[in-house]
Amino acid sequence: RRVARGSELKMQACAAYCIGSACMTATCSCCGSLGKAVSSISARAMYTVIFGLGMGIAVVMRDYAKPMMMEIPWIGVVPGMQPSDEWFGQSAVYRVSLGNFMFFGGLSAMLLDCKTRSDPRDRHIHHGSWTLKLAAWALCVIVPFLLPDGFIDAYAWLARLGSGVFLVVQMVILLDFAFLWNETWVAREHVGWVVGLLGSTIALYAGSVTLVAFMYEWYAPKGVDCGRNVWLITTSLVPCVLFSALSTHPIAKEGSLLPSAVVTSYCVYLCYSALASEPTEYRCNPRGAYAGDGKASEVASTVLTLASVAYSAVRAGSSDFFGGTLGDGDGDGSSYAALSGAEMGGGTDADAADADSEDDVGGAASYPNGPVSYSYSFFHFIFALASMFLAMLMT
């Protein structure tokens, strides 16, 4: 009976070993297939997806993180204070934001001075090794939850500074977009496009003036001393008026009202966002009492903000933003595959894409040469700053 029992245990152990090996093999195959699948997609698109996924996790953790975080003994240890649900939510957002910052900041540091496509870092770090990078990103998101609260508080202060830098960069990117919009429509040389340009300019200015009037009514109510709010609204409005007038003066080379209208709208929006974020009990924020009216509005606002920040980050890495060659594109996916297939002699695009996804591919002859079409390091640096900005925005 003992012999039979021993044989049965050996058979069970062998079966468990076989099942485990099969699962590991299937997992490795899936990871390999995932790496090959993403190799044919633009790198910038993939990084944007990762960034959006991280911020999506932050949104969920902000509202539902407390039960999980209360089980971690080194989180929530605040002398003389009982952490609230809001505190746990903010801490979770900071930790996820820190993970994203670590991931993109690390890539930015590793890709410093990467100027040519023949640089091994171009293929193996920026465009390749996706399975490894996805695992590294997941690890970066987990690690901050192992850190004490003091470290997260220090990062929160650092994120405030990084958010200010990102707002400046975002303004430059927005101005670049406005000039591109203006030049594209003017170059059409058709009265319809000119009318559209004029209509867009009028609509932007009209919207800005309307929002300013509502801000004076909402956040500076009569009978209440709200000098700070009035000062914020006025200091946002006056420079916009002055610079809009200056853009039509001959002294302003390539001056145009559309870029001024876009920047004016953005400045007014930032002012409104700052006033709307004032404490709900503040007497100069009577609209704070309506902050909880409708979850759908909050979700829509978050989605629009994520889309805006992702666009700004991607636009900052584009070739034409830095004065590069517009025809270069991203240099990702199919362009790499086509070049590799052509240079290797007769390989298909799919085969070339598969070859590009391997980490240990040898032979520089199968990889495109020449300068990179945009700054990889600055591209990831913008995503790192964007992670800080959204942490401030969501808390």
Q: Backbone phi, then psi, for 353, in 5-degree steps?
A: -65, -40
User: In sequence order, what DSSP letters do the residues of 361-382 get, joined into one string?
Assistant: ---GGGS--SB-SS-HHHHHHH
Query: Which residue intervals of 143-256 are DSSP H helices?
Result: 149-186, 191-219, 227-247
pLDDT tens-digit profile of 354-392? 333 333 333 444 556 788 877 888 889 988 998 998 888
Q: What is the pLDDT of residues 44-86, one digit of tens each?
A: 888 888 988 988 888 888 888 777 877 777 777 766 667 777 7
From residue 106, give the alpha-carbon distance in Å to each of 123, 127, 181. Answer: 16, 15, 34
Looking at the predicted structure, is the pLDDT value of residue 18 above 80?
A: no
- The yes-or-no verdict on residue 305 having pLDDT over 70 is no
CA separation, residue 355 to residues 37, 334, 339, 346, 373 (Å) = 12, 12, 12, 14, 22
pLDDT (average), residues 206-211: 93
| pLDDT band, residue 237 (cuts 50/70/90) | very high
Q: Reply yes or no on whether the pLDDT at 298 is more than 60.
A: no
Of 24-38, 125-139, 242-256, the poorest mean pLDDT is in: 24-38
In whole numbers, what is the pLDDT of the chain averaged over residues? 74
Question: Rounded distance, CA 151 to CA 155, Å?
Answer: 6
Q: Which two tokens stand for residue 160?
A: 């405030």
Confidence (pTM): 0.69
**Rounded to the nearest 5 degrees, what angle is found at the Cα of 323, between the Cα atoms of 265 and 385?**
55
pLDDT per residue as tens digits for the range 335-359: 433 333 333 333 333 333 333 333 3
